[in-house]
Amino acid sequence: MDSNEAELSFLSPSLSPTSRWWSEDTVAIVTGANKGIGFALVKRMAELGVTVILTARDIERGCKAVEALRAQGLYNVAFSCLDVSDPSSIRAFASWFRKSYAALDILVNNAAVSFNDLNENSVEHAETVMKTNFYGPKLLTEALLPMFRSSSSISRILNVSSRLGSLNQLRNPSIKQVMKSERLSEEEIEGVVNLFLNDVKSGAWKSKGWPKLWTDYAVSKLALNAYTRVLAKRYEGRGLSVNSFCPGFTQTSMTHCKGDHTADDAAGIAARLALLPSHQISSGKFFFWGSSNAISSKL
């Protein structure tokens, strides 16, 4: 464990009845939610009484996902089409949300892609990976920021990320120094992403100290984790908590159903983090769920 990582004092955050701050008027958005962790998270939050908007880029799959949940008696779920890799789709979704709901309480940026098998490391689709995994959550968050509710319960953003995007995966000391800076800016994060994409185009990416495993995916999550820190600092003390969460090696389509635990297991932890009572919630942290089932945090 790195020196700036600390074990939290619980195995999993509690959602006891006395800690419940939400109601049916509490609105959450979960992206990429027609399957996997996203679908399981929508289900869990709906079971807990939150009004949840399930988004997916495929209308048919998204509608079927909502139908499956309603067949289980979960009628507090709605669907809206959203492709986070498409800025015009983000704008249309934000406009629809503004007209349909009074305010937003929780945003879970879950949608992500990887084009590699577990033991592969191609960067052929690096640009698409960046558009979906980094720029998508960033653009969606920026579009929805004016719609977050101002209340004592604190609004929340949870970015589903990965330990592959940890700073210790970077082997280029100059880039690592930039990303570690307490004064890191969004422009600098985008500069690092553009540098990586340029290295991919030139064919020099293998020798430039980028993460070794799932390189394009890892860089996209590195950028997302950095953006989490920057946004958390920008909204410090202003009623908005922003954190990242790594669900660990989870059995999903991305891992070809291999993993240490199920999507339901991971979603249960994500729901608990998203619904922590105001006096327990933090901001600007990276939570990860390891094989010990403990949750740790990293500033």
3 in any annotated domain: no
42 in any annotated domain: yes
258 in any annotated domain: yes
Query: What pLDDT digit, counting tens, does each position of 145-184 carry?
Result: 999 998 888 999 999 999 999 999 999 999 999 999 999 9
Q: How many residues does the chain have?
A: 299
85 in any annotated domain: yes
Q: pTM for the complete prediction? A: 0.92
Q: Which residues of 135-163 are buried (b: 16+ CB within 10 A; e: fewer)?
A: bbbbbbbebbbebbbeeebbbbbbbbbbb
Provide the token pair at 232.
Answer: 């958390």
Choose, from 135, 217, 227, 235, the residue flagged as catalytic: 217
Residue 259 region, left (φ>0) first, then alpha (ψ -120 to 50), else beta?
A: left
184 in any annotated domain: no
The pairing of strands 106-109 and 77-81 is: unpaired
pLDDT mean over 204-211: 96
275 in any annotated domain: yes
122 in any annotated domain: no
Mean pLDDT computed over every residue of the chain: 90
- Residue range of the domain that includes 232: 23-115+135-163+224-298
Looking at residue 195, its pLDDT comes to 98
pLDDT mean over 123-144: 98
What does DSSP assign to residue 147?
Answer: G
| Inter-axis angle of helices 59-70 and 36-47, nearest 10 | 40
193 in any annotated domain: no
Tell me how far CA of residue 239 lies from CA of 26, 49, 145, 202, 283, in angstroms. Answer: 15, 22, 12, 44, 10
Listed in sequence order, the residues at least 6 apart from 278 whose beta carbon sits closer than 8 Å to its beta carbon are 21, 152, 153, 154
Looking at residue 110, its pLDDT comes to 97
Looking at residue 152, its pLDDT comes to 82
Instruction: Work out the end-to-end distance of the chain between its first and last CA atoms, rounded to an integer number of angstroms.
Output: 13
Percent of the chain with pLDDT over 70: 88
**Among this protein's residues, is 217 annotated catalytic?**
yes
The CATH number that applies at residue 51 is 3.40.50.720
Query: What pLDDT digit, counting tens, does each position of 77-121 carry?
Result: 999 999 999 999 999 999 999 999 999 999 999 999 999 998 899
Look at the chain and report how many structural domains it folds into.
Answer: 1
